[in-house]
Amino acid sequence: MPEISPPNQAPHAARVGVVASGIVSPLGLGLDETLAALREGRDCVSPVTRFPVDHSRCKSAGQVADARLAGAEKLHPRPERLHRVARMMILALGEALAQAPGFHPELTVVGTTSGGMTFGEEYYRRLKGGQASLRQAASLIANYTPQKPVMDAQEAFGVSAPCQVIANACASGTNAIGHAFECIRSGRYQRVLAGGYDALSELVFVGFDSLQASTPERCRPFDRERSGLVLGEGAAILLLENLEAAKGRGAKILAEVIGYGISTDNHHLTQPDPSGSGARQAMEGALQSAGISAGEIDYINAHGTATPFNDAAEGKAIVELFDGVAVSSTKGMMGHSLGAAGAIEGVISLLALENQFLPPNINFRAGDAGLPLNVVANSSRPAHLRTVLSNSFGFGGTNASVILRTVKT
């Protein structure tokens, strides 16, 4: 097992705490529902109802019912203008802010991929059918921009922090957490909102289906008979703060972000480098950033999309770098929420640390021959966790890893 040298950083780099989080996903609305679903290993993938899938191989996805988002309308002055993903962001941000009174962010960093793509689809179809008035067109175009759901969420709670949007394929959510971490660690900021969002879009759904990356069967991360991913949706927010400043104001510290690593393998537009070099470099970078060895990681929330190439490459990198660490992908339960995945899985990693358990990798039967991963198969289990690593790897070979650790008292 290789030793990771200490990071090259300023001797007085700030420590970064997580003081609150909020989440909306197919697993549930809020932290309590999400935790219950994780403990049960609940399969929250269901037949797609938002748009027709008659001509698609894949007919299922992880979905958030519109009825569950209705509470967001009471929190915004103009609820009739809200895109459904803005409602997700409002609920996630509201849950996080409610846990951290006195948290006033100086910056917001959010990852996403398709943004308001569903509004773009509707706008195009209305134009084609001659149904879009100029008034309707303005609303559709306004909601198409990727910063709009973030702006809506901030407006709902009187937050006026500048917003940075990261669109870096499926690594976006983890990039957002990592960038926010670096902003505070550098001393430039004290408090940053970090997270991600994405909503199911017919264009994206059909695109993945056309690539045959989606499966008509169950999503089986790391299973030797895996046949592809299913898509999901959701939003998640983490409130990051200078650790000493948070302690100084009496805030509860849920965990500490201690490392962040990125890489780009430039192997293929949609396939990872089969050697796993990109994934390994991102994880090594995170370990170096944290100044810890691979042996100190207690659990890995893997990217684990259940596509043949991704799981093989990521699994190879994990086996080469770690020795028997517990690994699971939670995407089998909720689908792959693209730009939101890293943020959602960051919150899941936080819940695992807070509640001392390993989230399950459902639908698992047997792993790849010659790839001895310690998969948390099918059922959650209690564990003593201090340090967890969360991976997000995207199309084009864009890779990101972030490390969370419990805070010593």
Catalytic (active-site) positions: 170, 303, 336
Give the side-chain half-sphere CA count within 13 A for 45.
27
Kindly give, in sequence order, each residue whose CB lies less than 8 Å from that of residue 197, ignoring residues fewer than 6 positions away: 85, 88, 89, 92, 110, 112, 149, 150, 234, 235, 236, 339, 340, 343
Alpha carbons 196 and 201: distance in angstroms, whole number: 16
Alpha carbons 235 and 144: distance in angstroms, whole number: 17
User: What single-letter DSSP state applies at residue 108?
Assistant: E
214-219 long-range contacts, CB within 8 A, separation 24+:
214/56, 214/57, 214/58, 215/57, 215/58, 215/306, 216/57, 216/58, 216/59, 218/43, 218/45, 218/332, 218/363, 219/45, 219/306, 219/331, 219/332, 219/335, 219/363
Instruction: Give the DSSP H or E segment for 243.
Output: helix 243-248
Q: Which residues pair with 198 in a beta bridge?
A: 234
Alpha carbons 298 and 158: distance in angstroms, whole number: 39
Q: Helix or strand or coil: residue 344? A: helix
User: What single-letter DSSP state applies at residue 157?
Assistant: T
Provide the token pair at 378. Answer: 């099918």
Write phi, then psi, for 71 (nearest 5 degrees).
-60, -25
Q: Helix or strand or coil: residue 282? A: helix
Closest by CA to 116, choosing from 141, 89, 80, is 141
CA distances for 273 relative to 205, 225, 264, 309, 336, angstroms: 24, 20, 10, 9, 20
Alpha carbons 118 and 174: distance in angstroms, whole number: 23
